[in-house]
Amino acid sequence: MPELVVTALLAPSRLTLKLLRAFMWSLVFSAALVAAAVYGCIALTHVLCRPRRGCCGRPRRTPPACLSDPTLGEHCFLTLRSSGLRLHYVSAGRGNGPLMLFLHGFPENWFSWRYQLREFQSRFHVVAVDLRGYGSSDAPRDVDCYTIDLLMADIQDVILGLGYSKCILVAHDWGALLAWNFSIYYPSLVERMAVVSAAPMSVYQDYSLHHMGQFFRSNYMFLFQLPWLPEKLLSMSDFQILKTTLTHHKRGIPHLTPNELEAFLYGFSQPGGLTGPLNYYRNLFRTFPLEPQELATPTLLLWGEKDPYFEQGLVGAISSRFVPGRLEAHILPGVGHWIPQSNPKEMHQYMWAFLQDLLD
């Protein structure tokens, strides 16, 4: 068929897609402005209630001692083949078994896996990375440096750079979103997955379009689409919004000590420390709309019944996309979003059972 004819036949579809994307972006930025007004009021309230903290975040000059805990593993750096960036990671148990690679979420870093690093190093080579933009890893400032494709390439480079041909991928929140995508596009590199509190992007997109309550739970994502303002609001009153997110008595991490809280705030308090992590969100809507994808990697999915950010209905939506028999899902009653830190014993029990056949 002549190219001109093909172009003419596809023109209506392309025009419709462009109009759909334009409509979507108008909604996103409208929601972003509303979210900015709400979070601006919250940040201003924090400043007025704690005037001594001021309007900026206090830079931390010395990392807290818990980041150097030798029981968690050895601190290393790996130069990525694809990008040349250096990623920081903590490694333990080399030579004890297969590679178990941990991917953290926001607003966290490698330290969010402290319980799992101790638990699994006896039978696995456990590695928890600081994703690009976080902690001691390189943090390019350009938004285009945080596309899903580039972040997946980072995971591939870590696995191969550590000398492995496959891994057990354990991931939470943003790390889990990356893990879902990685298992679809690099299936040969993932033997098993343990995913906590996150859905694949295509599932989340479709579910949110039919369940408006999920949009309200994800309101912060719209704020993060704006330039520079989110960094300012999150740092006001010495990062009080982040502190509240991590320590709230209902929505935060139970029993998080002040020292452990500083382990997360330390990286964000460095110059430009928030820009890289927020750039992940600024790329979220660039691939809209997404096609449904079939999921086939053997996966353990753990979900908190009381997760304030993601509705429980997403678990059923994820299950509907899986090849039968490949997904083992558990909803933990009374549990929130931060399962690796709030309920490590339950998580470990499910993981040991899920991985038992690999160890026999």
Q: How many other CB atoms are found less than 10 A from the CB of residue 12?
A: 9
Half-sphere exposure of 164 (CA within 13 A, CB side): 25
Q: Is 210 a catalytic residue?
A: no
What's the CA gap between 305 and 312, in Å, rounded?
Answer: 6
Q: Which of 130, 154, 173, 206 is catalytic?
A: 173
What's the DSSP call for residue 322?
Answer: B
3-49 vs 229-247: helix axis angle to the nearest 10? 60
Q: Is 337 a catalytic residue?
A: yes
Q: Is 144 a catalytic residue?
A: no
Q: Which of 207, 281, 309, 350 is catalytic?
A: 281
3-state class (DSSP) for residue 319: helix
Which residue's structure tokens are 């690679």? Answer: 101
Taking every pair of Cα atoms in the chain, the longest distance, rounded to a whole number of angstroms, is 71
Q: CB-based burial of residue 71 (10 Å sphere; 0-12 exposed, 13-18 middle, 19+ buried)?
A: exposed
Q: CB-based burial of residue 262 (10 Å sphere; 0-12 exposed, 13-18 middle, 19+ buried)?
A: middle
What's the CA gap between 266 and 355, in Å, rounded?
Answer: 34
Cis, peptide link before residue 107, omega less than 30° from 0: yes
Q: CB-based burial of residue 84 (10 Å sphere; 0-12 exposed, 13-18 middle, 19+ buried)?
A: exposed
Q: Which residues of 127-150 are buried (b: 16+ CB within 10 A; e: fewer)?
A: bbbbbbbbbbbbbbeebebbbbeb
What's the CA gap between 324 and 147, in Å, rounded?
Answer: 31
Helix (H) or strand (E) holding 353: helix 344-359
**Cβ atoms 125, 95 nearer than 8 A:** yes
**Cβ atoms 205, 230 nearer than 8 A:** no
Q: Which of 46, 88, 104, 337 is catalytic?
A: 337
Active site residues: 173, 281, 337
